Amino acid sequence: MRTFTLIIVLGLAPGLLLADTPPEPTPANPASELSKTDAVILGVVEGITEFLPVSSTGHLIITNHLLGLDTETPMFDAAGEPLWLEAPSAANPAGIPLTLKVASDTYIVVIQVGAILAVVMVFWSAVASILRGLRGQDASGLRLLRNIACAFFPVVIVGLALDDWIDEHLFSVPTVIASLIVGAGLMLGAEAWRKRRGPALDAPKQPADLTPREAVQIGLMQCLALWPGMSRSMVTMVGGYFCGLAPARAAEFAFLVGVPVLGGAAVYKAAQTGPAMLAVFGWSEMLIGGLAAAISAAVAVRFLVAWLQKFGLGAFAIYRLIVASGLAWWIWG
């Protein structure tokens, strides 16, 4: 709950600094009602797909489209005055109008906090090991924290550098179709490589046993996930394969790296456009979506670890190709 409160405060901070021009409407009186059913649907889709190697962003872009939440028509308040994401100014006379798409894009990033909480609960033993390491009581936990940090920073640097370009050019159904196909090919290639290695990946190498160089290599792989539809968990797991982790251990590392990556993305997005999202949807629907994401993510994580121990990534690659084919037929067929 404190995490949700932090997100809300960070999101509202820019608006509070501009007290002379308060945003209209307010979170208590949202401009566009997001139904509780839609909030739950978005939360469940986020929770299930965030850690499965199928791309939560891609599925949420598609879900937003199906729910009619991706319209770019400018919004107006009850008096007919335009609502602004960025009000007209001398530097930008046209301003940036507030749209439903802007709010929904922020919403699906912020509710990732629910999925983060699920990972912390499911992998609490690893989190506790890290906390003991910070107190000098667990060398393995300290190495695990080091490796998470090494895998975290590459995607942060690249993500911040390309954030605006990604939002402008890659958040669309056609780009998701392309990334689903490319990601499926990457997964099939990684599975073929893993099977050729045979027993080499069955050795009990743990995420804490990675070298800093291997962790950075996994972090560089994560940068591919900035392409919506690629899947952060998938490219992290594939990177773990190539660094000698067995499938379940690669998945565990992908989940743990996701905590700072997704948390940072949520805070950054909330600070940028949080007031707009709250003004459009209100705060209660955000909490509902986050709770739905937490519950569904906990189930999905446990399922994926059990599945990977037996079958690997191949089935998810096939699923991605089926989804890509269905979307292509729906748009262009």
Contact criterion met (CB below 8 Å) for 180 and 321: yes
Give the model confidence (pLDDT) of 29-67 as tens digits: 555 567 889 999 999 999 999 889 988 877 888 898 889
* Section 158-175 average pLDDT: 84
Percent with pLDDT over 90 in the chain:
44
In this prediction, residue 32 carries a pLDDT of: 56
pLDDT of 277 higher than 90: no
Angle at 233 between CA 114 and CA 216, to 5 degrees: 115
Q: Which of 8-12, 62-66, 249-253, 319-323 has the lowest mean pLDDT?
A: 8-12
pLDDT of 134 higher than 50: yes
Structure tokens at 257: 């790296």
Question: Which residues lie below 8 Å from residue 147, measured CB to CB, with a gap of 6+?
Answer: 207, 208, 210, 212, 214, 215, 253
Alpha-carbon distance of 187 to 181, in angstroms, equals: 10
Q: Closest by alpha carbon to 115, among 241, 11, 254, 220?
A: 254
In this prediction, residue 269 carries a pLDDT of: 84
Higher per-residue confidence, 217 vs 311: 217
Alpha-carbon distance of 148 to 129, in angstroms, equals: 13
Contact criterion met (CB below 8 Å) for 75 and 32: yes
Higher per-residue confidence, 58 vs 162: 162
CA distances from 101 to 73, 239, 277, 320 (A): 9, 33, 10, 25
Percent with pLDDT over 70 in the chain:
88
pLDDT of 13 higher than 70: no
* HSE value, Cβ hemisphere, 13 Å, CA-based, for 330: 12
Alpha-carbon distance of 98 to 280, in angstroms, equals: 9
Residue indicated by tokens 């059913």 = 37
In this prediction, residue 238 carries a pLDDT of: 94
- pTM of the predicted protein model: 0.79
Return mean pLDDT, the chain. Answer: 84
Q: Closest by alpha carbon to 87, among 290, 246, 275?
A: 275
pLDDT of 304 higher than 90: yes
Give the model confidence (pLDDT) of 76-90 as tens digits: 776 777 888 888 888
Which phi and psi angles does 27 have, rounded to 5°?
Answer: -60, -25
Q: At what angle do helices 36-51 and 247-281 cross, to 10 degrees?
A: 160
In this prediction, residue 202 carries a pLDDT of: 52
Give the model confidence (pLDDT) of 204-220 as tens digits: 789 999 999 999 999 99
In this prediction, residue 317 carries a pLDDT of: 94
Higher per-residue confidence, 123 vs 25: 123
* 197-206 core/surface letters (b: 16 or more CB in 10 A; e: else): eeeebeeebb
Alpha-carbon distance of 238 to 244, in angstroms, equals: 10
Contact criterion met (CB below 8 Å) for 145 and 134: yes
Which phi and psi angles does 205 have, rounded to 5°?
Answer: -75, 130
Question: Which residues lie below 8 Å from residue 299, measured CB to CB, with a gap of 6+?
Answer: 47, 48
